[in-house]
Structure 1
Amino acid sequence: MKTFTLDEAQSLLPVLESLLKRAIESKTAAEALESELSELSRRIFMSGGMHVDVNKVAARRTAMGTHENRARETVSEIDEIGVQLKDLDIGLLDFPCRVEDEIVLLCWKMGEESIDFWHTEEAGFRGRQPVDERFRRRANSGNRLN
């Protein structure tokens, strides 16, 4: 598992925020198309059938698939960086971080200016605590913090 220092995680925020926005936009667009197609199916069922522009429906389904794939690919990009996407809808990310020989998670939510919180894996988002000096001090041994 890749771990990040506070500075490393902080430096990734602009790229990650852009990726999150792209994934959220794609997910939202796919959901809108899915809702439109579901409503069309409901209307067809309720009316016992109706004339449908098959080409238009096919284009909508193709577009929905394209948006779904784009969202999945973007989430994969975030995962490949080593960052954990916890909630796409609110843009919640966790960055594994070693502090005092323990792996904890630096926690950031879209809209926050910087990474100001951390939590243990067990505590989750509800157990967020303010980042303290332990995260700001760098050890001499590479990616490790004391």
Structure 2
Amino acid sequence: MADRHYTHEEAEAALPWVRDAIDAMRVATLELLDARTKLSALFEAIRSNGGSTHDEEVHDLRSRVEKSTESLRQPLEEFENREIIIRDLQQGLIDFPALREGREVYLCWLYGEDRIDFWHELDTGFAGRQPL
């Protein structure tokens, strides 16, 4: 059982922050993937050409990886602190622990929806969404 339960109003009030955090995390994820891909390709090139160094480029790419990782870590920690659950970052699927008729449920929001209009049981997930 969650320590925190959101009312519908509290969950709605958190949406602007959630949207901004998801946007930032998506950008950071793309940046991280790009930097890691380029770093892997660079290491492969270094191995295949006898180990010549590209110290500055390696340093720059590692810095991008570290920066992107930090850009992901901060909002992830805040989601955890707020007890808001990211089910799927790319889709923007978010659950807020809540109580409905004395039972623990999730208020369910999908990126792009204007409001939180759905809930589901703990064990049904997105497929079990029901209108509020």
TM above 0.5, yes or no, is yes
**Is the partner of 1:112 in helix, strand or coil?**
coil
* Distance in 1, Cα, partners of 2:53 & 2:23: 34
**Is the partner of 1:33 in helix, strand or coil?**
helix
* Distance in 2, Cα, partners of 1:110 & 1:43: 40
* Distance in 2, Cα, partners of 1:67 & 1:126: 32
Say if 1:79 and 1:85, in contact at 8 Å, map to a contact too: no
1:1-146 equivalent positions in 2, closer than 5 A: 1-45=3-47, 47-49=48-50, 51-131=52-132
Deviation at 1:83, TM superposition (A): 0.9
Deviation at 1:49, TM superposition (A): 2.9
Any unmatched runs of 5+ in structure 1?
132-146
Aligned-pair RMSD on alpha carbons?
Answer: 1.5
**Is the partner of 1:90 in helix, strand or coil?**
coil
Higher Cα radius of gyration: 1
* Distance in 2, Cα, partners of 1:60 & 1:31: 11
Query: After the TM superposition, which parts of structure 1 deviate over 6 Å for at least 4 consecutive aligned residues?
Result: none
| Range that drifts further, 5-14 or 48-57 | 48-57
* Distance in 2, Cα, partners of 1:52 & 1:43: 10
- Tell me the amino acid that sits aligned with residue 33 of structure 2: E
Say if 1:2 and 1:82, in contact at 8 Å, map to a contact too: yes
Please report the TM-score for the alignment, with normalisation by the length of structure 1: 0.82
Deviation at 1:112, TM superposition (A): 1.1
Any unmatched runs of 5+ in structure 2?
none
- Tell me the amino acid that sits aligned with residue 121 of structure 1: L
Deviations 1:23-68 (A, max 9, x none): 11111111110011112223344x3436442111112112211111
* Distance in 2, Cα, partners of 1:89 & 1:75: 14
Q: Percent identity among equivalent residues?
A: 31
| Range that drifts further, 82-91 or 104-113 | 82-91
Number of residues of Structure 1 aligned to a counterpart in Structure 2: 130
